[in-house]
């Protein structure tokens, strides 16, 4: 152990000069890297829950800071001072003729526009999603501009009844209006992508010729582009862009070295523990209780924020209309989507509520995890904005009005959490995005159908 | 550049030559006057925006109208009958009405007569296609589905649909890692490596020393020509196979120079192999391998695919993989467009074991049982007997059955009803059939006619159930969508309490459900179509076992009347009714397999081709081989037309 410390220090010393240069360009004072600057960056995460909520037990009694947590929000008890409960926000983009079912209220939850009804030919969600917008502005200093996590494979097939490809139900992050981001759904693979070079015995094999290989295929793609028509060129552009992004990562060796070097022993300890936990889970776990898997994903997100591997992340607890079997919760017999169509019967309504509460508890877990990690002068949660949302209010009627939306964290001081806020009916959800952009100093006049900022959430 | 700017700034100088009437220009002002006010993009009365057809580039208007040909036929019906514009709005004059009807009619008819084969967007290999192509190229088994982020599906619900196959930075990273892993495996296995590199180049000790010495005299590249020559012999066949065509000289040179670069830059003893590995790696992540595309010809009429392109379409359709040696040979030496030669190849390829991939791909995605591969869809506490072995047997039963229908029985109608299936001991026990021993699935004759065909299969019955119980609604909906191709529309936006998917609580009896659905007129019209079909299958429990009652003594009565009037008293009788709906099944089957094979959706302009294929089914007793040959010989399969929109943008930009 001590040996490692010495070599690390020596290495840092040696690297000093070469690291400083790129950061100088990024307007960081000499001798500092953004890793040791006092002002920590604000992180943004959006956690998506499918199928809406039991509307009778979601909204807390009383508004302002003196609110009483509703039954469903009880898991937030320890952390209520760090959360905003936002009522009466709606996604106007989810209301258009033909917007039946779930898909039209999922893919656009962060774009705010109506999606195009298609079985696959003309996927379009109207605009880029808010997380990707943040990634464009704030993702350039980190190894990954953003991360997209999920837990379920993309639903295959098309929905004959509503006329949408189910792909729409599995994507909330859109790099462009027509291109969804790929999600990681396996903790093992997600972990390795981010951290395999910083935990023991995982280091990737050297790829000394990677750049030459990439040059070669880029040349192939350029040649190909010349032979194609418009639509084909657009499609191949994805390839070129992906190649460029991989190239950028290897070109920026200094950055990834710097990233690896600033992994502290405390982070390393957590990473190693998580690494083992994932392996054990994969080897031994059988059953339907997904809690541990969800938490592995969220731990990864927390570690990615902590280590500054990224500052933007989204996580779909499950795909839209997910029929996850929740019989592992006492008092619940059946699956999520099915129960969400409760017909206002008391039994299913309560089961439905318990599932909502379950997801809120996972959200609370994530917030508490962030709170337990020091970051700058406060905690990681202080420097984060963690959104929790569903695209529906009531799953039975598929209503996209008064969405269940929570916002955790202090946004680096920009937010004043610990309150239950009621906005005017039909306030655009996009006003929230506009406000979060303001907190992150992203210059923006408006976002989709936004009509103004939610000044009430500011500190 | 200057010329373009100038041209744009000026008023067009030359007058449009006197041409035939531009029918779009006739239609546009009339609908603008009468329809736009309600049917525009933000209002979309009735879910329809007519204005949307007339926005953007003018030269695309007609194409859009044709694509939505069925909708326009419907619109014209409404106009003709006077339902639209609705009462209270200004009426169309008789003249306007006639002009409108006539022009739309011309546009639509013209599209049918144009014999337009359509075009397919460049498409990335699906994960299946990647896996099988890799197997064919390198001999390595690579589990692409578990290592790559999943793709969605589109068109008719298949995962080989071009516009739902994306490439993202994450996927690119995975492709790189995959190529690395695959080639490592190939290199580690002497057998596989020998296939790739039959004659490896070895520098003798003397040669090594000689070259080393000569490099001081003649420069660092001395002696590299021999290994490069040897490598070329190895790289070119591999690359041509991977790219499904010959390489252009320029491409060949660039791959050889990659080899040379690595070779010269490496000092270890096996540098010949290492340089080959890096070159192979580039080939495996090249867009020429990862994407299927067909080169555009500089003509403005439809044209036949090149022989190699047609060979690729054929092999990816029937085998989910690259052409084999024989197919390449035929494409190279003979005319693959020749009907007899093409037919012979289709028959040969369908007999090949690789055709089972087609059966698996189509059947599991069409009938929606892919989720059985991913995990248990039922509650393990309620159904502990639903073991992974049983799940796997169910999945394989459908694939085996579909493949048998496709290649042996030769009658697509067997999918709906037959007196046999494929069972192993586990599955036979599950169905209550004795005398089937062992793990191997085999053909078993059924004495109970309720079971035969896909509607009696555990896989389909489980996939259309909920984790704890059956859902007549889901099963009925499934039959309407997947068998008959007539999905019920979604419920009206404000259907309120009654939801589209599932009604009734866990303990509500099936009868309550029925009553519930029929109590509201806005729900009844559709549930009347779905529910009875689902009730007809209630004798099968959530995991596909036979049952006579719900357990609490409540008998199951699979007796109902379909919305179309037919009465049935058992699953067997329900199937007989479905088998009689030949036309619907034929159209659905045609559209499904057409979309899977060609990679684009069936559009209005394809109506004549679809009709031909349907007739082929109806006239030949749903003969599978005859249908497959007809499909592959069809115009849309063998021809393409250029992308008309802003051609060769990249060139224009330069």
pLDDT in tens, A290-314: 999 999 999 999 999 999 999 999 9
**Cβ distance of B291 and A239 shorter than 8 Å:** yes
Q: CA A314, CA B232: separation in Å to the nearest integer?
A: 47
* The predicted structure's pLDDT at residue B471: 85
| 3-state SS assignment for residue A394 | coil
Tokens of B342: 């093409």
Which residue, among B82, B79, B71, B83, has the nearest Cα to B47 in the 3D structure?
Answer: B71
* The predicted structure's pLDDT at residue A4: 37
Instruction: Provide the number of CB pairs (under 8 Å) joining chain A to chain B.
Output: 267
pLDDT(A386) > 90: yes
Sheet of A384-389, strand order: A147-149, A312-316, A43-48, A384-389, A405-408, A83-90, A419-428
Which residue, among B34, B59, B56, has the nearest Cα to B45 in the 3D structure?
Answer: B34
Tokens of B613: 């294929």
Higher pLDDT, B504 or A95: A95
Residues 501-520 of B with CB under 8 A from A: 501-508, 516
Nearest CA in chain B to A148: B170
Residues 387-426 of A with CB under 8 A from B: 396-398
Radius of gyration of chain B from Cα atoms?
30
Predicted confidence (pLDDT) per residue in A167-213, tens digit? 999 999 999 999 999 999 999 999 999 999 888 877 778 889 999 99
Q: CA B292, CA B313: separation in Å to the nearest integer?
A: 9
Radius of gyration of chain A from Cα atoms?
22
Residues 124-183 of A with CB under 8 A from B: 153-158, 160-162, 165-167, 170-171, 175, 179-183
pLDDT(B9) > 90: no
The Cα of A116 is separated from the nearest Cα of chain B by a number of Å equal to 11
Read off the pLDDT band of B15 (50, 70, 90).
Answer: very low
Q: CA B156, CA A165: separation in Å to the nearest integer?
A: 9
Read off the pLDDT band of A79 (50, 70, 90).
Answer: very high
Alpha helix (H) residue ranges in A171-321? 187-195, 210-225, 230-251, 253-261, 265-284, 291-306
Predicted confidence (pLDDT) per residue in A125-136, tens digit? 999 999 999 999
Predicted confidence (pLDDT) per residue in B256-312, tens digit? 999 999 999 998 888 999 999 999 999 999 999 999 999 888 888 889 999 999 999
Q: B368 at the A interface (CB within 8 A)?
A: yes
**Cβ distance of B381 and A101 shorter than 8 Å:** no
Query: Which of chain B's residues have a Cβ under 8 Å away from the Cβ of A212?
Result: 258, 261-262, 278, 282
Handedness of CA A262, A264, A269, A273 (dihedral sign): negative
**Cβ distance of A161 and B649 shorter than 8 Å:** no
The Cα of A211 is separated from the nearest Cα of chain B by a number of Å equal to 10
Q: How many CB atoms lie within 10 A of CB B347?
A: 12
Tokens of B91: 């009426």
Read off the pLDDT band of B501 (50, 70, 90).
Answer: very low
Nearest neighbour of B468 by CB, restricted to A101, A156, A334: A334
Residue to substitute from B70, B167, B262, B600, interface A, most A β-carbons within 10 A: B167
Read off the pLDDT band of B510 (50, 70, 90).
Answer: low
Average pLDDT, chain A: 88
Query: Which of chain A's residues have a Cβ under 8 Å away from the Cβ of B144?
Result: none
* The predicted structure's pLDDT at residue B509: 60
The Cα of B2 is separated from the nearest Cα of chain A by a number of Å equal to 22
* The predicted structure's pLDDT at residue B348: 97
pLDDT(B13) > 70: no
**Cβ distance of B44 and A96 shorter than 8 Å:** yes
The Cα of B446 is separated from the nearest Cα of chain A by a number of Å equal to 31
Q: CA B129, CA A11: separation in Å to the nearest integer?
A: 46
Burial class (CB in 10 A: 0-12, 13-18, 19+), A212: middle
> Angle at Cα B300 formed by Cα B294 and Cα B301, nearest 5°?
80
B483 secondary structure, DSSP code: I
Which residue matches tokens 């070599």?
Answer: A7
Predicted confidence (pLDDT) per residue in B85-133, tens digit? 888 888 899 899 999 999 998 888 888 877 889 888 899 999 999 999 9
Predicted confidence (pLDDT) per residue in B252-268, tens digit? 999 999 999 999 999 88
Q: CA A146, CA A12: separation in Å to the nearest integer?
A: 27
Nearest CA in chain B to A346: B505
**Cβ distance of B296 and A323 shorter than 8 Å:** no
Our measurement of the distance from residue A310's CA atom to the centroid of its chain's CA atoms, rounded to an integer in Å, reads 11
**Cβ distance of B122 and A212 shorter than 8 Å:** no
Read off the pLDDT band of A43 (50, 70, 90).
Answer: very high
Which residue matches tokens 């929606």?
Answer: B368
The Cα of B302 is separated from the nearest Cα of chain A by a number of Å equal to 15
* The predicted structure's pLDDT at residue A38: 57
Nearest neighbour of A160 by CB, restricted to B487, B506, B644: B487
| 3-state SS assignment for residue B407 | helix
pLDDT(A95) > 60: yes
Using the CB atoms, write b or e for B580-597: b if 16+ within 10 Å: ebbeebbbbbbbbbbbbb
pLDDT(B552) > 80: no
Yes or no: say if B632 and B597 are a contact pair by the CB < 8 Å rule.
yes
Using the CB atoms, write b or e for B383-411: b if 16+ within 10 Å: beebeeebbbbbbbbbbbbbbbbbbebbe
Kindly state the average pLDDT of the residues B460-471: 89
Share of chain B above pLDDT 90, in %: 57
| 3-state SS assignment for residue A179 | strand
* The predicted structure's pLDDT at residue A97: 76
Which residue matches tokens 């062992």?
Answer: B438
Give the 3-state secondary structure percentages of chain B, helix then strand then coil, rounded to 5: 60, 5, 40
**Cβ distance of A323 and B282 shorter than 8 Å:** no
* The predicted structure's pLDDT at residue A9: 36
Domain boundaries of chain B, sorted by first residue: 20-113, 123-292, 415-490+504-580
Yes or no: say if B349 and B319 are a contact pair by the CB < 8 Å rule.
yes
The Cα of B512 is separated from the nearest Cα of chain A by a number of Å equal to 13
Handedness of CA B285, B291, B292, B296 (dihedral sign): negative
Predicted confidence (pLDDT) per residue in B332-345, tens digit? 999 999 999 999 99
Read off the pLDDT band of B216 (50, 70, 90).
Answer: confident
Using the CB atoms, write b or e for B373-382: b if 16+ within 10 Å: eeebbbbbeb
Nearest CA in chain B to A242: B169
Query: Which of chain A's residues have a Cβ under 8 Å away from the Cβ of B50?
Result: none
Residues 123-182 of B with CB under 8 A from A: 123, 147, 149-157, 159, 161-164, 166-173, 176, 180
Residue to substitute from A102, A115, A116, A121, interface B, most B β-carbons within 10 A: A121
Residue B279 preceded by cis peptide, ω within 30: no
* The predicted structure's pLDDT at residue A156: 84
Average pLDDT, chain B: 87
Nearest neighbour of B154 by CB, restricted to A158, A185, A396: A158
pLDDT(A434) > 80: yes
Tokens of B567: 């009465």
Q: CA B223, CA B225: separation in Å to the nearest integer?
A: 6
pLDDT(B3) > 70: no
Yes or no: say if B156 and B601 are a contact pair by the CB < 8 Å rule.
yes
* The predicted structure's pLDDT at residue B649: 34
**Cβ distance of A216 and B499 shorter than 8 Å:** no
Predicted confidence (pLDDT) per residue in B614-650, tens digit? 999 999 999 999 999 999 999 999 999 887 644 333 3
Residue to substitute from B51, B163, B298, interface A, most A β-carbons within 10 A: B163
- Phi (first) and psi of residue A139, to 5 degrees: -95, 5
Contacts (Cβ under 8 Å, ≥6 apart) of B407: B350, B351, B355, B359, B624
pLDDT(A375) > 60: yes
Query: Which of chain B's residues have a Cβ under 8 Å away from the Cβ of A174?
Result: none
**Cβ distance of A342 and B157 shorter than 8 Å:** no
CATH number of A41-198+263-457: 3.40.720.10
> Angle at Cα B284 formed by Cα B278 and Cα B289, nearest 5°?
145
Q: Are strands A312-316 and A179-180 parallel, antiparallel or unpaired?
A: unpaired
């Amino acid at each position: 152990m001590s040996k490692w410390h010495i070599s690390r220090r020596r290495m840092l010393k040696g690297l000093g000069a070469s690291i400083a240069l790129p950061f100088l360009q990024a307007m960081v004072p000499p001798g500092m890297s953004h890793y040791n600057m006092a002002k920590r960056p604000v992180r943004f995460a959006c956690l998506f829950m499918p199928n809406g909520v039991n509307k009778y037990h979601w909204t807390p009694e009383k508004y302002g800071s003196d609110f009483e947590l509703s039954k469903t929000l009880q898991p937030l008890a320890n952390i209520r001072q760090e959360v905003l409960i936002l009522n009466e926000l709606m996604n106007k983009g989810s209301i258009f003729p033909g917007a039946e079912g779930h898909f039209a209220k999922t893919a656009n939850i962060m774009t705010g526009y109506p999606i195009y009804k298609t079985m696959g030919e003309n996927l379009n969600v109207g605009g880029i999603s808010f997380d990707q917008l943040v990634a464009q502005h704030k993702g350039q200093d980190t190894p990954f501009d953003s991360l997209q996590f999920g837990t379920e494979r993309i639903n295959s097939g098309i929905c004959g009844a509503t006329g949408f490809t189910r792909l729409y139900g599995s994507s909330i992050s859109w790099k462009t209006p027509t291109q969804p981001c790929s999600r990681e759904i396996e903790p093992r693979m997600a972990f390795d992508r981010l951290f395999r070079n910083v935990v023991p015995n995982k280091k990737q094999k050297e790829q000394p010729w990677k750049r030459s290989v990439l040059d070669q295929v880029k040349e192939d793609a350029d040649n190909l582009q010349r032979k194609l028509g418009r639509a084909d060129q657009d499609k191949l552009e994805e390839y070129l862009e992906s190649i460029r992004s991989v190239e950028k990562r290897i070109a920026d060796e200094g950055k990834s070295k710097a990233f690896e070097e600033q992994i502290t022993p405390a982070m390393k300890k957590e990473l190693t523990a998580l690494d083992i936990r994932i392996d054990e889970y994969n080897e031994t776990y059988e059953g339907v209780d997904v809690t541990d898997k969800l938490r592995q994903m969220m731990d990864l997100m927390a570690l990615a924020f902590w280590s500054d591997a990224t500052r933007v992340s989204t996580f779909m607890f499950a795909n839209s209309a997910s029929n996850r079997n929740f019989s592992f919760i006492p008092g619940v017999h059946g699956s999520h989507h099915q129960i969400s169509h409760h017909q206002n019967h008391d039994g299913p309504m309560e089961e439905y509520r318990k599932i909502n509460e379950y997801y809120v508890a996972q959200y609370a877990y994530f917030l508490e995890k962030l709170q337990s990690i020091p970051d700058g002068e406060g905690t990681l949660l202080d420097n984060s904005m963690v959104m929790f949302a569903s695209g529906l209010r009531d799953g039975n009627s598929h209503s996209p009005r008064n969405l269940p939306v929570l916002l955790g964290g202090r946004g680096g001081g920009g937010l004043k959490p610990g309150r239950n806020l009621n906005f005017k009916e039909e306030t655009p959800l996009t006003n929230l995005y506009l406000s979060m952009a303001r907190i992150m100093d992203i210059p923006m006049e408006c976002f989709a159908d936004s009509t103004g900022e939610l000044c009430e959430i500011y500190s | 550049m200057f010329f373009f700017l100038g041209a744009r700034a000026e008023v067009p100088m030359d007058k449009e030559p006197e041409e035939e009437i531009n029918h779009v220009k006739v239609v546009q002002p009339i609908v603008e006057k009468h329809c736009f006010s309600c049917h525009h993009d933000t209002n979309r009365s009735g879910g329809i925006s007519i204005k949307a057809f007339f926005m953007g580039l003018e030269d695309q208007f007609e194409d859009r109208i044709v694509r939505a040909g069925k909708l326009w036929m419907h619109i014209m019906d409404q106009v003709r009958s006077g339902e639209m514009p609705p009462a209270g709005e200004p009426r169309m004059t008789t003249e306007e009405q006639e002009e409108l009807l006539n022009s739309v009619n011309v546009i639509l008819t013209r599209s049918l007569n144009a014999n337009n084969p359509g075009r397919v967007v460049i498409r990335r290999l699906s994960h299946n296609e990647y896996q099988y192509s890799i197997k064919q190229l390198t001999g390595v088994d690579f589990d692409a589905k578990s290592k790559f982020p999943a793709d969605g599906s589109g068109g008719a619900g298949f995962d080989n649909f071009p516009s739902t196959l994306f490439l993202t930075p994450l996927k690119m990273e995975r492709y790189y890692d995959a190529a690395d892993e695959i080639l490592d495996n190939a290199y580690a296995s002497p057998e596989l490596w020998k296939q790739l590199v039959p004659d490896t180049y070895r520098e003798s000790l003397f040669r090594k020393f000689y070259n080393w010495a000569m490099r001081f005299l003649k420069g660092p590249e001395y002696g590299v020509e021999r290994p490069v020559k040897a490598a070329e012999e190895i790289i070119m066949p591999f690359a041509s196979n991977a790219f499904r065509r010959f390489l252009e000289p320029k491409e060949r040179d660039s791959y050889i120079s990659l080899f040379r670069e690595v070779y010269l830059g490496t000092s270890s003893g096996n540098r010949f192999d290492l340089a080959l590995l890096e070159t192979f790696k580039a080939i495996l992540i090249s867009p020429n391998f990862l994407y299927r595309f067909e080169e555009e010809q500089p003509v403005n009429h439809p044209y036949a695919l090149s022989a190699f392109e047609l060979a690729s379409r054929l092999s990816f359709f029937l085998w989910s993989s690259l052409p084999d040696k024989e197919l390449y040979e035929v494409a190279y030496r003979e005319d693959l467009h020749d009907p007899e030669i093409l037919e012979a190849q289709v028959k040969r390829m369908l007999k090949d074991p690789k055709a089972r991939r087609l059966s698996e791909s189509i059947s599991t995605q069409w009938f929606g049982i892919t989720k059985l591969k991913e995990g248990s869809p039922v509650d393990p506490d309620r159904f502990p007997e639903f073991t992974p072995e049983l799940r796997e047997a169910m999945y394989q039963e459908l694939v085996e059955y579909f493949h048998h229908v496709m290649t042996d029985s030769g009658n697509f109608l067997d999918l709906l009803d037959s007196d046999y299936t494929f069972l192993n001991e586990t599955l036979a026990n599950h169905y209550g059939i004795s005398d089937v021993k062992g793990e191997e699935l085999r053909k078993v004759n059924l004495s109970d006619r309720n079971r035969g065909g896909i509607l009696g299969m555990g896989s389909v019955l489980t996939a259309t159930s909920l984790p704890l119980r059956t859902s007549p609604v889901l099963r009925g909906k499934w039959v309407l969508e997947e068998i008959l191709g007539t999905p019920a529309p979604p419920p009206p936006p404000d259907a309120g309490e009654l939801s589209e998917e599932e009604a009734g609580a866990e303990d509500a009896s099936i009868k309550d459900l029925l009553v519930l659905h029929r109590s509201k007129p806005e729900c009844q019209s559709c549930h009347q179509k779905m529910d009875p079909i689902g009730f007809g299958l209630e004798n099968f429990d959530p995991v596909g076992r036979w049952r006579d009652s719900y357990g609490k003594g409540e008998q199951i009565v699979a007796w109902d009347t379909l919305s179309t009037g037919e009465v049935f008293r058992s699953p067997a009788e329900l199937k007989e009714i479905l088998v009689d709906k030949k036309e619907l099944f034929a159209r659905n089957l045609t559209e499904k397999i057409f979309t899977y094979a060609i990679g684009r959706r069936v559009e209005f302009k394809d109506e004549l081709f679809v009709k031909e294929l349907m007739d082929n089914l109806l006239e030949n007793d749903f003969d599978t081989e005859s249908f497959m040959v007809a499909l592959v010989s069809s115009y849309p399969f063998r021809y393409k037309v250029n992308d008309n929109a802003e051609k060769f943008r990249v060139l224009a930009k330069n």
